[in-house]
Amino acid sequence: PEIGKLLGRIKYVARSCKEIRDKYQVHDDGLYYLISSSGVLYQTFCDMTTAGGGWTLVASVHENNMYGKCTVGDRWSSEQGSNEKRPNGEGTWENRVTFGTVEGATSDDYKKFPVRFGIGTCIIDNGPVIPIVYDTGIIFEPGFIAFRVFNTEKAAMAICSGVKPTGCHTEHFCIGGGGHFPEGFPVQCGDFASFDWSGYGTNVEWSASKEITEAAVLLFYR
């Protein structure tokens, strides 16, 4: 009966949300079953409404404990402290390891631009900056997603979700990264780096709001 129930819910045979949209003309946001390239059946969220829909959720970045500086749960930076000798941190941005409940992976673009401490210099070595459909601007120039960003101390962040940095204190609004954040060692180390430099959720000076600090950043592929 369990298998029967499950099969009843698999209405669509598809590899991606885009395929569900295109093949079956589905336009409702929600959870759908997809089949991975290796034949594994898994469930994920499809955004079928934003910018034409067909977006497959592939990952999420969440800060479980802003007070834990590169400790357990900082899987997008380092779970083992801020350490110059571990510039990749957990290596999440360059490996194919999956974790969590969604069979997720970063895209090829992220893997082309490894995120690790010390391999680049602020502004000149940053990765692509792409205009996106996004409804929240924080500081600097909103309306973009930027990849592989370095701060003043060469700490590497993976994504600036919603903004294009025009300065180098990117640790206050960019997320994920390598395994070493030198400034204020180790307080800037973590999945949400230094969102709390001027206090937790205070939304003043160098701190993000509580809403942003406690949000998850969802990454979609189409």
Residues that bind ligand G3P (CB under 6 A): 169, 183, 197, 206
d(CA 221, CA 116): 23
Judged by CB under 5 A, the chain residues 48 through 87 that form the site for Ca ion are 73
Among 169, 174, 189, 193, which residue sits at the site for Ca ion (rule: CB under 5 A)? 169
Question: In the complex with ligand G3P, which residue's Cβ is closer, 56 or 207?
Answer: 207
Q: In the bound complex, what is the minimum distance in angstroms from residue 151's beta carbon to Ca ion? A: 6
Q: In the bound complex, what is the minimum distance in angstroms from residue 213's beta carbon to Ca ion? A: 12
Q: In the bound complex, what is the minimum distance in angstroms from residue 50's beta carbon to ligand G3P? A: 32
Pull the structure tokens for residue 5: 């129930």
Contacted entry of ligand G3P, Ca ion, none for residue 73, CB cut-off 5 to 8 Å set by kind: Ca ion
Q: Which of 125, 158, 166, 121 is nearest to 142 (CA)?
A: 166
Q: In the bound complex, what is the minimum distance in angstroms from residue 191's beta carbon to Ca ion? A: 4
Question: In the complex with Ca ion, which residue's Cβ is closer, 21 or 169?
Answer: 169
> In Å, what is the CA distance from 210 to each residue of 55, 57, 76, 129, 147?
27, 24, 20, 26, 24
Q: What share of the chain is helix, strand, coil (3-state, %, to 5)?
A: 15, 25, 60
Question: In the complex with Ca ion, which residue's Cβ is closer, 73 or 81?
Answer: 73
Pull the structure tokens for residue 60: 């999420």
Q: In the bound complex, what is the minimum distance in angstroms from residue 43's beta carbon to Ca ion? A: 21
Contacted entry of Ca ion, ligand G3P, none for residue 153, CB cut-off 5 to 8 Å set by kind: none
The answer to whether residues 46 and 57 touch, using CB atoms and an 8 Å cutoff, is yes
Q: Indicate the pairing of strand 141-150 with strand 30-35.
A: unpaired
Site string for Ca ion, 191-220 (x = CB under 5 A): x-----------------------------
d(CA 70, CA 64): 11
What residues line the site for Ca ion (CB under 5 A)? Answer: 73, 169, 191
